[in-house]
Amino acid sequence: MSFWTPTASTTTEGRFSVTATRAMCVGPEDVEFVMGGVAQAMAVDAAELATGKPLLWSTIQFNAAARNHQTIDIDVIWQSGGRSLSQVRVDVTADQKPVQSMFAALGARPGNTKQFIKMPTVDRPENCPRKDDPLIQTEGNLISEFDRRTAFEDAEVGLEYMWIRPVKSMPITAGLLALTSDFMLGAHRDTRGGTSLDNTLRVFSVEPTDWILSVTQMSGFREGVAMGVTHQFTQDGRLLSTSSQTGLLPRK
């Protein structure tokens, strides 16, 4: 149970609910809204609870955002699958209005594990400068729930390495990886303050770690739109996830 995890309805099959709090939100106080990554974390937790299986992949489409204090309902709708695999769609509403929708596959089959992507060599998080987000942080909102450190940043090649960990210790879950992977638009000076259209998350493992390293490589910017790929690692270099996003660049 993380601070965003919804509760199963006792009356409606596949429905989960949670009330939005400031800790789930970003943005100025008068327009604070639930961050897309938190919405995805809620939907991922609901899908895992509904199916009893671990998340393999999910893509969420951000159509709108829930506001602070709204009631968020999450409906897990079975699409296909069998004993070892489930494919679902998850619809998210805020005070009964649609805000996001997600596809996901969950499950596992016996098989080998092999990691191809390697973690780059980086300095320890304790030695890296703290990363702030003046555009979206306020006292007690989501940004204050995480400690972030910039390990490397090169805007010319579109690359950033960022350490991130929850201020209050919590286990590594697919939901936490969804949430933390949604910081992608913070990885480049030209994308900060932009608007994510989606997030695709592929979970490789949920190995325990204190800090997560997010390695973001922007693919490119096209006509006011950014796209990029993030890999997340444990502190000792085990792959946690592969994710990617498309987002609108901020209007200058």
For a copy of itself, the binding residues (CB under 8 A) are 56-57, 59, 61, 63-64, 79-80, 85, 87, 89, 98, 101, 103, 105, 108-117, 157-159, 197-198, 200, 202, 204-205, 217-225, 227-229, 231, 239, 242, 244, 246, 248-249
Q: Which is nearer to a copy of itself, 116 or 126 (CB)?
A: 116
Q: Which is nearer to a copy of itself, 52 or 116 (CB)?
A: 116
Per the structure block, which two tokens stand in for 182? 């949604």
Q: How far is the CB of 96 from a copy of itself (least distance, A)?
A: 16
**How many residues appear in the chain?**
252
Per the structure block, which two tokens stand in for 120? 């780059």
Residue 183 CB coordination number (10 Å): 23
Q: Cβ(230)–Cβ(243) under 8 Å?
A: yes
Q: Which is nearer to a copy of itself, 74 or 143 (CB)?
A: 74
Please, which residues have CB within 8 angstroms of residue 152's CB and are 6 or more apart in sequence? 120, 122, 159, 160, 161
Q: How far is the CB of 202 from a copy of itself (least distance, A)?
A: 4
Q: How far is the CB of 6 from a copy of itself (least distance, A)?
A: 21
Q: Which is nearer to a copy of itself, 58 or 141 (CB)?
A: 58
Dist. CA 51–CA 109, nearest whole Å: 15
Per the structure block, which two tokens stand in for 12? 């409606």
Please, which residues have CB within 8 angstroms of residue 132's CB and are 6 or more apart in sequence? 143
Q: Which is nearer to a copy of itself, 93 or 141 (CB)?
A: 93
